[in-house]
């Protein structure tokens, strides 16, 4: 097995560059070797970011089984073709099974719609706020009365440009103390979600955790 499996050519990846600020850029795999990896150079505003040889970058990617991260040293950024980076073999590879989803405490806006037993919208839509989220579900707070087993469609706003859509089931309901802003805390388990949508959540959690670590808050 090669050092970079299961990476494949043209596969999307993310590149994290070192520095005082969190700097993560979309990239793709150009070529996979046994101990070398060629990826597209990170870009910002349409311009290629220069990366010096010897710089250690972090690469993040996913497949249907797990999430993978590793650090690698930049061997070169081709002067005649600076749009590609040549990376050395991984320094510290990590593999996280999808069933071991990490849960992140975070406040996100969620728009929810009740569905019937055929997953058809009932017409009632309301908003709530997450308490935490993972690749497998979330806890949210709201003032709408729900029942155990209710099926809802959720549109989760990760940021002003990106949302996640999923269908889930209510698996837990707790009534909050009288002076709480929201009356109920609700456990919501995803039952239908595209893997591309789940990947958005996983990347969001990883990126937020890295940001918190850099600030010394995690």
CATH number at residue 25: 2.30.110.10
Helices assigned H by DSSP within the chain:
195-214
* Structural domain containing residue 180: 104-213
pLDDT (0 to 100) of residue 1: 39
**3-state class percentages of the chain: helix first, strand second, coil last, to nearest 5:** 10, 50, 40
Domain boundary among 38, 69, 97: 97
pLDDT (0 to 100) of residue 41: 92
Statement to judge: residues 29 and 82 lie in one domain: yes
Statement to judge: residues 87 and 135 lie in one domain: no
Tokens encoding 214: 């850099």
Indicate the number of domains in the chain: 2
Rounded CA gap, 193 and 152, in Å? 12
Statement to judge: residues 65 and 146 lie in one domain: no
Compute mean pLDDT per 10 residues along the chain, 218 residues long, and list them. 70 81 79 89 86 90 75 85 87 70 90 88 90 92 91 94 93 88 92 88 86 74
In a domain, 6, yes or no: no
Domain boundary among 44, 72, 97: 97
Statement to judge: residues 133 and 91 lie in one domain: no
Statement to judge: residues 109 and 204 lie in one domain: yes
Query: Which residue pairs, CB below 8 angstroms and at least 24 apart, start in 42-49?
Result: 42/15, 42/17, 48/82, 48/83, 49/17, 49/25
pTM (two decimals): 0.60
Statement to judge: residues 193 and 150 lie in one domain: yes
Rounded CA gap, 33 and 51, in Å? 21
Cis (ω within 30 of 0) for the bond into 116? no
Query: Which residue pairs, CB below 8 angstroms and at least 24 apart, start in 39-42?
Result: 39/13, 39/15, 39/84, 39/85, 39/87, 40/83, 40/84, 40/85, 41/77, 41/82, 41/83, 41/84, 41/85, 42/15, 42/17
pLDDT (0 to 100) of residue 190: 92
Tokens encoding 153: 């469609």
Domain boundary among 97, 120, 141: 97
Statement to judge: residues 166 and 111 lie in one domain: yes
pLDDT (0 to 100) of residue 20: 53
Statement to judge: residues 93 and 110 lie in one domain: no
- CATH number reported for the structural domain that contains residue 127 in this entry: 2.40.10.220
């Amino acid at each position: 097995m090669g050092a970079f499996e299961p990476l494949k050519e043209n596969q999307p990846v993310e590149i994290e560059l070192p520095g005082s600020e969190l700097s993560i850029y979309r990239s793709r795999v150009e070529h996979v070797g046994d101990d070398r990896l060629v990826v597209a150079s990170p870009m910002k505003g349409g311009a290629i970011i220069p990366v010096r040889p010897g710089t250690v970058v972090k690469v993040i990617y996913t497949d249907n089984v797990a999430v993978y991260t590793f650090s690698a040293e930049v061997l070169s950024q081709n002067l005649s073709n600076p749009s590609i980076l040549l990376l050395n073999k991984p320094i510290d590879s990590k593999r996280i099974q999808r069933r071991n989803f990490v849960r992140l405490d975070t406040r996100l806006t969620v728009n929810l719609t009740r569905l019937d037993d055929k997953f058809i919208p009932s017409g009632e839509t309301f908003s709530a706020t997450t308490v935490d989220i993972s690749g497998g579900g979330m806890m949210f707070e709201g003032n709408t009365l729900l029942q155990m087993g209710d099926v809802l469609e959720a549109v989760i706003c990760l940021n002003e440009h990106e949302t996640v859509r999923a269908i889930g089931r209510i698996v837990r309901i707790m009534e909050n103390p009288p002076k709480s802003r929201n009356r109920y805390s609700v456990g919501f388990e995803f039952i239908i979600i595209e893997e591309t949508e789940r990947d958005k959540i996983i990347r969001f959690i990883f990126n937020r955790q890295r940001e918190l670590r850099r600030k010394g808050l995690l």
